[in-house]
Structure 1
Amino acid sequence: MLFDRDYMKPPRNSAPETDPMKLLLGIIVANVIMFLLISPPRIADGMIFIPKSYDALVLSWEGLKSGKVWQLITSTFMHADFWHLAFNMYGLYLFGSLFVRHIGTKRFLWLYVISGVTGNLLWLLANYNSHGFLLGASGALFGVMLAAAMFGPNNQFLILFFPYPIKAKTLIMVYAALEIISQCSKLGGNIAHLAHLGGFIGAYVYLRIALKHHIAWDPFRALFSSVHRPSGPQNIGKSFQEHNAELKNVDAILDKLSRFGANSLTDEERDVLRSAREKYSKH
C-alpha cells in the first residue's frame, strides 16, 4: 500500500508515532486501573462516605476552589460503579477504533481531553457553587461518538434493545435529542446530561477547526438543510470510501512505477504522487 513505500515514510531522524490503537487501549486500561485502585463512595446507615483519594480526583466546585484544577481531567477517568465503567469503555472502543488510526495519536488524545473537559465545564456552569460532584468518561465518549459519525456517517451499528442496524449519523442525532429532552425534563436521576452535551459541543468545535478536511457529514448542516438548502453543492470533505479510492489510485501508480520505471508515468500521475506525498507527510 501507499504507506509502505520508502519515500512515503517520515524521515528517519523523526521519531515514529505511537500506534493510535495503543493510545485508545491505553486510555481504556487507565480507566480500569483508576477504578480498581480508587474506592468509589459507599452508602452506610443512610450516609454517603467518600474516600479522600476519590474526593481529590472527581470534579467539584469545592475541589476547584481549593486549587485542585486537575479534577477537570482526572474526573474523566473515574467511574461510580462497574456498569458505568463497562458501558463507557465499550463505547469508547467501539466508536474510537473506527477512526483513531485515521486521525492519529495526538489528534485522538486532544479529542478525548477536549470533549471531557468541555463537558465538565458545561456541568460546572449549570451547577455553580453546588455541593455535588461529577465523574465519568461520558463527556469524552460522546465526543468520540460524534467524531465517528462525522467521519463515517453511514457506518452501521447494532445496539442493545434495538434489533435493526442503525447508521452512525442517525444514532448520534437520536442520542443528542434524548440528552436534550432528558436535561429539559430532568429525567435520568443523577446522570449528567449537560456533561454529555458539553462533550458534543467541544468535539464539534475541535473537529471543525483541526480536522475539517476529514469530515464527511456535519450534523448542524444536516439539521438545518431542510430549512435553508444552498443552491450550490455542499463540500463537507471526503468520506472514508473516497479516501480509500484515492489510496488505491495512488497505489496503482506506484505499482506502475516499480514495474516500468519513472519514464512510464504521465505528468498527471506524477502530480498525483507529489500531492499524495505532501498530504500524508503532514499526518
Structure 2
Amino acid sequence: MAWRGRVVRWVKEDFITPANRRRGFVLVQQQRCGFRKAAKKVEPKMEAEPVELVQKRSGTPAIEPPTPSQPERSLGRMVKPLVFTVGFTGCSFGMAAIWQYESLKSRVQSYFDEAQADWLDKMRQRKHGDIRKQINQWWNSLSEGQRSVTGIIAANALVFCCWRIPSLQRSMVKYFTSNPASNALCWPMLLSTFSHYSFFHMAANMYVLWSFSSSAVSMLGKEQFVAVYLSAGVISSFASYMCKTLTGRLGPSLGASGAIMTVLAAVCTKIPEAKLAIVFLPMYTFTAGNALKAIVALDAAGLIMGWRFFDHAAHLGGALFGIWYIFYGHEMIWKNREPLVKLWHNFRTRGPGTGGNGSL
C-alpha cells in the first residue's frame, strides 16, 4: 500500500500544476453552484399583435376572456309572472266560491248528524285526561279566524324546519325565495310567502296574522279570507319583481309580510277607528287608520330611498291591494261569483234530467 501512496503523490506533484489546480478549483465551484440553483430562463413576452398574427397563421380563432354573466333585467320576463298572478288570483277566488258552496251544503246536510253525535257524546262515559278531548276543547275555544289561520301558521312552521335540512338547501333557495333573476319565476311567488329563514321573522309575522285574523275573517268570511291571503302573497311578490327589475337591484326575497300587509290594510281600512297598541307598550294606543298611514309612508320612503333591510315593494304592493280590495275588489270579484257557483251547482247535480233542478 506504500507504493500506491507514492504514485499518487508523484502524479499530483508532476502533472497538476498550480495553474491547473486553480482552474480545477474554479470549475468545481461553478459546477456546484450550477447544481444548487439553476439559472432562470427569461422568456420574451409576446405583444398582443404578434399573438394575433400567430393565431391568424395557425388558423385558430382568438380566445376572448370570459365575461361574468349579468342577470337579465328585461321587462319581457315579467309577462309570465303577470299571467300567473292574474290566473292564480282568479283561481283562488273561484275555488273559494266553490268551497263556500260546499261548506253551506254540507252544513245543512250534517245538521241532524251533528245533533245525534252531541246526544251520543252526552250518553257516553266521559274520560278524564283524554289528550284528544283537550285538543278539541282548545280548538273549540278558538275563534273562527284563529282556526282559519292555524293551517297557514303550521305551513310556515313546516317550511321553516325544511330550511334547517342541509340536503334541501338548493331546492329551498330555488322554489321558496322569489327572485326575478331566477329560472323559476312563477311558483316561488306563492311558496315564498310561506317561507322564513329567521325564527324572529316568522314569529313576528305569525303574531300579527294571529292578532288580526279574527277581525279579518269576521269581516270577509273564512273562504274569502283565504282567497285574499293567497292572492295577496302572489300580488306582493309580483310588485317586488317589478321594482327589482326596474331598479336593477335583483335579489331573493322571502316571508309572509306582503300577504299580512294586505290583511292589515284591509282591516284598518274597513275599521279605521279601531284601537291598536304595541305589544311591549300596551299603554300607547293609536287608531288603525293612523297605523296604516304610517306603515304605507314608511314603505314608500324605503322604496324611494332604496333601503334594503325589508322588501318595501312587496309590503307596499300588499297594502295597496288590501285597500283596493275593500273599496273595489269585493264588489268586482266576490259579489260576482254567482255565475260560477251556478255552473258548479249544475255540474254537481248533473243537470235537471238526473235528479237535480239545476238551480240554487
**TM value normalised by structure 1:** 0.61
Q: CA deviation at 1:68?
A: 5.0
Write the distance in 2 (CA, Å) between the matches of 1:13 and 1:205. Answer: 28
Write the distance in 2 (CA, Å) between the matches of 1:184 and 1:61. Answer: 20
Matched, 1:59 2:150: no
Larger radius of gyration: 2
- 2:276 paired residue among 157, 164, 169: 157
- 2:198 paired residue among 71, 74, 81: 81
**Alignment-derived partner of residue 298 in structure 2:** 178
- Alignment CA distance shift 1:139-1:12 (3 Å): closer
**Alignment-derived partner of residue 196 in structure 1:** 315
Does the aligned pair in 2 maintain the 1:76–1:136 contact within 8 Å?
A: yes
Q: Deviations over 1:110-162 (max 9, x none)?
A: 21122221111111011127651110000001101011112221111111565
Does the aligned pair in 2 maintain the 1:61–1:130 contact within 8 Å?
A: no
Does the aligned pair in 1 maintain the 2:145–2:213 contact within 8 Å?
A: no
Does the aligned pair in 1 maintain the 2:145–2:216 contact within 8 Å?
A: no
**Alignment-derived partner of residue 216 in structure 2:** 99
Give the residue type in structure 2 aligned to 1:76. T
Where 2:106 maps in the other structure, the secondary structure is coil
**Alignment-derived partner of residue 122 in structure 1:** 239
**Alignment-derived partner of residue 189 in structure 2:** 72
- 2:149 paired residue among 21, 24, 35: 24
**Alignment-derived partner of residue 239 in structure 1:** none
Write the distance in 1 (CA, Å) between the matches of 2:157 and 2:103. Answer: 36
Matched, 1:144 2:269: no
Gaps of 5+ in 1: 1-9, 42-48, 214-281
Q: CA deviation at 1:186?
A: 2.5
Give the residue type in structure 1 aligned to 2:251. G
Over the aligned positions, Cα root-mean-square deviation in angstroms equals 3.1
**Alignment-derived partner of residue 4 in structure 1:** none
Q: How many residues are aligned here?
A: 195
Write the distance in 1 (CA, Å) between the matches of 2:103 and 2:193. Answer: 36
Where 2:197 maps in the other structure, the secondary structure is coil
Where 1:60 maps in the other structure, the secondary structure is coil
Q: Deviations over 1:36-91 (max 9, x none)?
A: 222389xxxxxxx991121122111244xx34521110000001301110111011
Does the aligned pair in 2 maintain the 1:40–1:80 contact within 8 Å?
A: no
- Alignment CA distance shift 1:130-1:11 (3 Å): closer
Write the distance in 2 (CA, Å) between the matches of 1:142 and 1:123. Answer: 14
Write the distance in 2 (CA, Å) between the matches of 1:143 and 1:195. Answer: 10
Gaps of 5+ in 2: 1-100, 109-143, 333-359
**Alignment-derived partner of residue 166 in structure 1:** 286
Q: CA deviation at 1:168?
A: 0.7
> Equivalent residues in 2 for 1:181-260 (5 A)?
181-187=301-307, 189-211=308-330
**Taking every aligned residue pair, what percent have the same amino acid on both sides?**
26
Write the distance in 1 (CA, Å) between the matches of 2:329 and 2:305. Answer: 34
- Alignment CA distance shift 1:69-1:171 (3 Å): same
Write the distance in 2 (CA, Å) between the matches of 1:174 and 1:40. Answer: 38
Give the residue type in structure 2 aligned to 1:52. R
Give the residue type in structure 2 aligned to 1:116. G
Q: Deviations over 1:213-240 (max 9, x none)?
A: 9xxxxxxxxxxxxxxxxxxxxxxxxxxx
Where 1:80 maps in the other structure, the secondary structure is coil
Where 2:232 maps in the other structure, the secondary structure is helix
**Alignment-derived partner of residue 257 in structure 1:** none
- Alignment CA distance shift 1:104-1:13 (3 Å): closer
Write the distance in 2 (CA, Å) between the matches of 1:93 and 1:13. Answer: 25
Write the distance in 2 (CA, Å) between the matches of 1:73 and 1:52. Answer: 18
**TM value normalised by structure 2:** 0.49
Does the aligned pair in 2 maintain the 1:118–1:201 contact within 8 Å?
A: no
Does the aligned pair in 2 maintain the 1:24–1:100 contact within 8 Å?
A: no
